[in-house]
Chain A
Amino acid sequence: MIGSRTVKTIFRKGLLLIAAPVLFQVIFLGILLWIERENAAAERWALHTRVVISQAETALRRLVQESDRVRGLVITGSPVFAPDPDQGKAAAGIGELRRLVSDNPPQEERVGALQATTVELESWIAGVEALVRSGRTSEAAERVRELRGERLLAAAQQKLGEILSEEQRLDQERLARLERNRRARVWLLLGAAVGAAVTACLLAWAFARGISSRLEIVTANARRLAGNEALTPPQEGEDEIAELDATVHRTAERLLAAAATEQRYKTELERRAAELAHTNEDLQYKTREVETFVYSVSHDLRSPLVNLQGFSRELEHSCAELRHALDRAALPADLRRRLDGVDRDMMESVRYIQTAVLRSGNIIDALLRLSRAGRVEYRWQQVDMTLVVHRVVDAMRSSLEQKNARVTAGDLPPCWGDPTALEQVFGNLLSNAVNYLDPARPGRIEIGGESGPGSAVTYWVRDNGLGIPEPYREKLFVAFQRLHGDVAPGEGIGLALVRRVIERHGGKIRVDSKEEVGTNFILTLPGTGGGRIPAEVAGDATFV
């Protein structure tokens, strides 16, 4: 894994930072140990010198004692001066001495010479002693007087002195070396301490410099990333700072890619929204076009209808005149009967024509009203719905009384719209309710309203009339669909008109109904809160 490798790299750097002073301390400790051992050796040698000196002095003392004892024996002949069996030979002590200085050849040579002198002195002493013991005292005295023993002793003493001075010199030398070592140790300690500190500082500085400068680049890159700026090129190296920098770069790439994707989605969304808006506009335009077409066609149809109706009336007048003339004229009975038949047929034809024309005229009027509902320019304002409904109820008072219906309308919240169009809406809903009341029970119509949901306002017109069977509810708001064709006159555009007006207000209308119980029309309209013009209507000016 890349991670562990890079961690090792930085670990190694950190380890180096710790290891350098540790190495210094180890070397320093080694040197210290070596100096300690040197000191121990020096002390051992100093002791050795003491032993050698003591041994030499003991041997010399033995020689002097032996010489004095022989001299006493010769002079007195007393057994007091007999040899002490407890005391070893001086030569044996010298032999020991020789073994001690065996590491130092010049000294060993000196000890060897001393040993020879000692052996000679001891054999002289033994000879003198043998003479005393055999009674040749004078001969023994003679030998003493020869002073050979004195000379040998002096030679041994001189040799011993040489050995001692040599040993003392060596001792001095070793002490001096010990002193040197002690001083060296102090300097070493100081040097090692300073060296370790300096090295540690240098390494730490280098480490910090290497890491912090690189970290600074990464931090700057991270800052650029946050500020959405271009990043510096990726750092060289394999440690985790380089890896971190690489990660920052990868993150930047991802962010760029994400931003590009977002931009793409945004553009797409905008395109779709524009398409939708365009389609919507197109639809509105087409609705307008259809309404304009309907308006223009129905308008054009009116003109021939005026003629049809007018001339059928003229024909009626003519028929009446003809009838009048016929009544006065004296005609044969069978001719009069035939002419009566013709006159009846003519009158009947005229009536049919007039009925048809009237019906066509009503349809055309309905079409015109419907198309106008979509075309007329609204005067947007806050509408006092209580007043509007009051006016509507007043206008319908006579038909309400005729149908024995009672309308209750409380205070209604105001809404935002065109008062004339809304009056038409409530007029149509109310007349719809009145027209389709159930004759079996007294009519009850309730008009109500409340604010909400949101900024919208909800109104309802509820009756206890015939009700609308489920299958007809969908067709309810479609023009020229009449459910109870026989109950009331009309072309069946009232609710289509209502829906168109509500749609133009940006509102909604729905119906709850139960057969033989009643119907409830519920409509929502924009409230006065925003004082806004509904989106559907905002484009109106373009088409009007």
Chain B
Amino acid sequence: MDEVTIILVEDDDGHATLIERNLRRAGLDNSFVRLRDGQEALDHFLGSTSPVREPCVVLLDIKMPRVDGVEVLRRLKNDPRTATLPVVMLTTTDDPREIERCYQLGCNVYVTKPVEYEQFIEAVKRLGFFLKIVKLPILPTQPPARGNGGQP
């Protein structure tokens, strides 16, 4: 679990701070990378000088300037290098259609950001629990194989 980097794609600084603080409070001490919008996320994962080599989990906000989270999810899942990355959608929307669309595109978990603080903590804890479960399949398969294949 400790080797897994949590990559948070979130345009709202407050949300980012709250998510990080509550994840830490829930007992996670993974390394944290904050990306400010969808375009930064695309550059990070799919850019030519992509620094992503370590195992990671993506926390994706949906409503973001430039490129939104759904588009980032679509691109990540369409690219063989990143298709197996676990993606957690983090959003204020609880529109069933949007949830369905995200699951169809291949997101692993969809968490709504609740206004109610207790629910929010619960959601983040579930997220941490999820991260502990999914760390095993990530390590041997995704980053080394794809990373080596992708590097000249």
Contacts and interface: CB of A to CB of B under 8 A. Distances in A.
Contacts of A201: none
B96 interface: yes
B53 to A, nearest CB: 32
Contacts of B96: 376
**Residue of B21, B92, B115 contacting most chain A CB atoms (<10 Å):** B115
Contact of B92 (A303, A310, A314): A303
A311 B14 contact: yes
Interface string A274-293: 00000000000000000000
Interface string A362-384: 00100010001000110000000
A94 B14 CA distance: 179
B12 A307 contact: yes
B148 to A, nearest CB: 40
B42 to A, nearest CB: 22
Interface string B1-29: 00000000000101100100100000000
6 contacts: A302-B92, A306-B15, A307-B12, A307-B15, A311-B18, A314-B21
Contacts of A313: 117
Nearest to B12: A303
A358 interface: yes
A361 B92 contact: no
A377 B97 contact: yes
Contacts of B18: 306-307, 310-311, 314
Given A314-B21, A376-B96, A377-B97, A305 B14 contact: no
Nearest to B115: A361
A309 interface: yes
A337 interface: no
Contact residues on A (Cβ < 8 Å of other chain), bracket: 20 to 34
Which interface residue of B12, B94, B97, B117 has the most chain A CB atoms within 10 A? B117
Nearest to B14: A307
Interface in A114-142: none
B63 interface: yes
A305 B114 CA distance: 9
Given A303-B12, A307-B14, A310-B14, A372 B115 contact: no
A357 interface: yes
B127 to A, nearest CB: 15
Interface in B84-132: 92-97, 113-117, 120
A311 B21 CA distance: 11
Contacts of A344: none
Contacts of A376: 96-97
Contacts of A372: 95
Given A303-B92, A306-B120, A368-B94, 12 more contacts: A299-B63, A299-B92, A303-B12, A306-B115, A307-B18, A310-B15, A313-B117, A314-B18, A358-B115, A361-B115, A364-B115, A377-B97
A514 B119 CA distance: 42
Nearest to A544: B97
Give the top 9 A-B pairs by smallest Cβ distance, nearest first.
A307-B14, A361-B115, A310-B18, A302-B92, A313-B117, A305-B115, A309-B115, A306-B113, A309-B117
A346 B94 CA distance: 33
A444 B45 CA distance: 61
Nearest to B19: A310
Contacts of B15: 303, 306-307, 310
Interface in A284-334: 299-300, 302-307, 309-311, 313-314
Nearest to A420: B96
A361 B114 CA distance: 9
Q: Which of A309, A310, A314, A368 has the most CB of B within 10 A?
A: A310
A414 B117 CA distance: 42
B120 A310 contact: yes
B122 to A, nearest CB: 13
Contacts of A305: 115
A373 to B, nearest CB: 12
A303 B63 CA distance: 10
A364 B114 CA distance: 12
Contacts of A314: 18, 21
B116 A361 contact: yes
